Structure 1
Amino acid sequence: MERKAFAGLIVVVVAIIAIAMLAGCVEEKPKSTAEIKEMVLATAENTDTYQFEMDMTQKTLISNETDETEMTMTSTGRGAMDRTNKKMKLEMTMTIQPPEKAEIAETKEMTMDIYFINNTLYTKMDMGIPTMPSQWTKNTMPEEYWESQNQIDQQMELLNISKVELLGDEKVSDVDCYVLKLTPDLEKYWEIVMKQEGLSELMQSLKQNVSFDMGKLIKEMSIKQWIAKDTKCPVKTEVQIKMAMSSADLDLETDEEFTMTIDQRTNMFFYDYNKPVTIELPEEAESAVELPMFPPGNQTATTTA
């Protein structure tokens, strides 16, 4: 009897293990787009630190009746964010390939280091020009400036203003991800874009001299986000934009009409969520030259590509 009881127990245990294994192999019930979006937004609220990388390629073509000029700019960068201590760092390299017909047709490379610590923005730019040595500068920024620095917050803004479609799933660096297609409200999208450093001031300056509707200038737009299935954190964002404009669109009075097209593709990668990061100001930046604070209304900067 004891042997039979023991044998019976083994059968029961094996059966339980088999059932558990089979249950583990059953695919998770597919989540709806709305559920995924809600979980991603909720997870972002609990993100304290993360690191990111980016790459961007932009091709600009200007043409008129007799000539065409093309220029290519690429940029790569990596950075880290500490939301708890309000610290950020970013290192970028930008390469400009001028038109072949340019007087100086050699490729130009620039590097930039950016730190945001104690409500102060520290910047060093190396233009690659011997007569213009790089120098650290600093700006004391208002409290609200920090909000525009958070890349994840910007990704969540983009998610919030968009119609979202679940395209399927893919792996990014061995991470199982949901792939989302975003179709943003263009007016709200440009509000986010205008938070980029310098763009707000540039666009305001342009609008004083020319008239244009940014929404009408966008001819094609594709935005995708890859969301980790396990953590519900963004892993990758891809943005492709094609813009086209003419002298007529800009309401410019010129001797010769022209058209300009801009093709831009940007990828951002996010990783090491809520892991310790070290963001310390370089020693040479301690003696940075103080620059005047931006005028009120022009303090909308960010490090997004």
Structure 2
Amino acid sequence: MARLALHALLAVCVLTSGCSLLGPDYTRDERAVDVLDNATDSLGASETYRFESQMTVTAATDSRTERVDVELTGAVDVGDRKMRENATMRGESRRAFVVNRTVYRECASPWDGWAVDESAEESQWVNRTPAARQLTLLQSGSVYWNGTQAVDDEPAVVVTGEPTVDALTEYQDDQSQPVFGGPSIEDPQLRAWIDADTGRLLRTELRFTVTRGDNTATATMTNTFGDYNEPVSIEVPAEARTNQYELGCPGE
């Protein structure tokens, strides 16, 4: 059960996936595509932004249900190619930082060190940030225009998409090995709210189901983005540069 919930949680994090897989059977509403293109351009012109995420994974069998909740907060500085993130799960918080292609991840208790990795991705740096990767998911599968809706009293265009399963599962780690090995992902749906005036991405909701045998897990993720072009402070702690695990955190 815990392993299925973990697989689903990893799948949620594929908000990070950077694929573009279209096919002849997908519907690409022209108005929705125009809105997404505008949002991509607007994000490319933004130097900074902040983000928050609420993730929930619920795994169930006939005899047991397990729920995992994760809260994320962070900030991105595109100009300096820096990003910070704080993740809280089951009462424990862990920090992570990205500086150019170097990733610093705080290890879980009882260890007090940091895992340091070099990303193998060669894409434009901004394309690796949370908002960009949400928009990238909408470049796969079907996408539709769903009118307008207010977000914090501001008019926003609503775009809904059905990302391809490949777009969710083909995210790979630095060793080019699949993140998952076994569970199947079904019915992925992604909804995005985009500022009608500025084209900035304001909010997304990602939902899908993961199955393995008779076990099923549902995953949902709500992201909010804001404070575009406002000053941010992103500094890697000194201990992350001195107290390091070169082969990853113990126990992972």
% identical equivalent positions: 22
The secondary structure found in structure 1 opposite 2:46 is coil
Runs (5+) with no aligned partner, structure 1: 1-30, 96-108, 247-258, 294-305
- Give the number of equivalent residue pairs: 218
CA shift at 1:71, angstroms? 0.9
Partner deviation per Cα, 1:217-273 (whole Å, 9 max, x = no partner): 41x332100001111011000011123331xxxxxxxxxxxx101011100111111
Within 5 Å, give how 1:165-180 maps onto structure 2.
165-180=144-159
What CA distance in whole angstroms lies between the structure 2 residues aligned with 1:268 and 1:197? Answer: 25
Partner deviation per Cα, 1:43-65 (whole Å, 9 max, x = no partner): 222222111000111100134xx
Q: Tell me if 1:82 matches 2:82.
A: no
Aligned residue type for 2:240: A
Aligned to 1:280: 235
CA shift at 1:167, angstroms? 1.5
What CA distance in whole angstroms lies between the structure 1 residues aligned with 2:175 and 2:71? Answer: 19
What CA distance in whole angstroms lies between the structure 2 residues aligned with 1:86 and 1:181? Answer: 30
Q: Does the CA contact (< 8 Å) of 2:165 and 2:188 recur in 1?
A: no
Pair 1:164–1:143, CA change in 2 (3 A):
closer
Aligned residue type for 1:260: N
Structure 1 residue corresponding to 2:139, chosen from 160, 164, 167:
160
The secondary structure found in structure 2 opposite 1:281 is coil
Runs (5+) with no aligned partner, structure 2: 1-29
Aligned to 2:23: none
What CA distance in whole angstroms lies between the structure 2 residues aligned with 1:148 and 1:175? Answer: 26
Greater relative contact order structure (CA < 8 Å, 6+ sep): 2
Give the structure with higher Rg (CA). Answer: 1
Aligned to 1:54: 53
Q: Which structure carries more helix by proportion?
A: 1
**What value does the CA root-mean-square deviation take over the aligned residues?**
2.7
Aligned to 1:252: none
CA shift at 1:157, angstroms? 1.2
CA shift at 1:150, angstroms? 1.3
The secondary structure found in structure 2 opposite 1:286 is helix
Pair 1:139–1:84, CA change in 2 (3 A):
same
Structure 2 residue corresponding to 1:123, chosen from 83, 105, 108:
105
Show structure 1 runs of 4+ deviating over 3 A. Answer: 140-143, 145-149, 195-202
